[in-house]
Amino acid sequence: MLLPIVHYNHPVLRKKGAKITVFDAALAELANDMIETMHHAEGIGLAAQQIGRAIQLCVVDLREGKWEYEWELDGAKPPLDLYMPLALVNPAITILPSDETVYEEGCLSFPQIRGDVVRPDAISVAFKDVFGTPHVLQCTGLLSRCIQHEVDHLNGVLFIDRMDKKVRAELDKPVRLLAKETREKAKL
Ligand SMILES: [Zn+2]
């Protein structure tokens, strides 16, 4: 089922997600609906806040495209098709020693708006799957960046908060317009 994606500056985007404690069929179904919604919107990641739920759940899928990155899931390197699309429940990121990289990010809650964001390259993320089984994923490159962006959402942090002042200032007008549009839609 496709879920409506909320846009900036809907208040739910600023809410920290509650920890998930029940791993039932409803959670698996929600993760599936979020994956379907992400694919339909042609995104590579989606967080629960973006479909109006402040809980610790996000999904990612980087099978499309030819991105270079490293990964190790639970100490092995399974083919991407075996573990993506990936749903991460209660993810916790540890930044690993690495260089910072810059990349022009977009966000499904900010249609048409893109801007450079600096982030560390390598992370380790501990999470549970929808069945409650714990996993550890170490990764770099766009996979790492995508997970950092989504886990920020789960904590009420948006990519515009991570931009340096100059990049953020250049986006000020479209960001204000989007917030206005979202406010007006909410009144209808
Ligand atoms: Zn986003």
- The tens digit of pLDDT for each residue in 71-107 reads 999 999 998 889 999 999 999 999 999 999 999 999 9
Q: Of the listed 150, 170, 181, 184, which one is catalytic?
A: 150
Residue 68 has pLDDT above 90, yes or no: no
Question: Peptide bond preceding 111: is omega within 30 degrees of 0, i.e. cis?
Answer: no
Q: Would the CA dihedral through 5, 127, 84, 68 be positive or negative?
A: positive
Q: What is the 126 CA–ligand 1 centroid distance (Å)?
A: 20
Q: What is the pLDDT of residue 64?
A: 80
Question: Is 150 tagged catalytic?
Answer: yes
Residue 65 has pLDDT above 80, yes or no: no
Name the percent of the chain lying above pLDDT 90: 91
Q: What is the 157 CA–ligand 1 centroid distance (Å)?
A: 9
Rg, the chain, Cα only:
16
Q: What is the pLDDT of residue 67?
A: 78
Q: What is the pLDDT of residue 66?
A: 75
| Cα separation, 143 vs 146, whole angstroms | 5
Residue 188 has pLDDT above 80, yes or no: no
Q: What is the 108 CA–ligand 1 centroid distance (Å)?
A: 6
Residue 149: CB atoms within 10 Å: 24
Q: What is the 153 CA–ligand 1 centroid distance (Å)?
A: 7
Helices (H), 25-132: 25-40, 80-83
Confidence band, pLDDT 50/70/90 cuts, at residue 125: very high
Tens digit of each residue's pLDDT (9 = 90 or more) over 18-51: 999 999 999 999 999 999 999 999 999 999 999 9
Q: What is the 99 CA–ligand 1 centroid distance (Å)?
A: 23
Q: What is the pLDDT of residue 186?
A: 87
Give 19's DSSP letter.
P
Q: What is the 109 CA–ligand 1 centroid distance (Å)?
A: 6
CA atoms within 13 A on the CB side of 67: 19
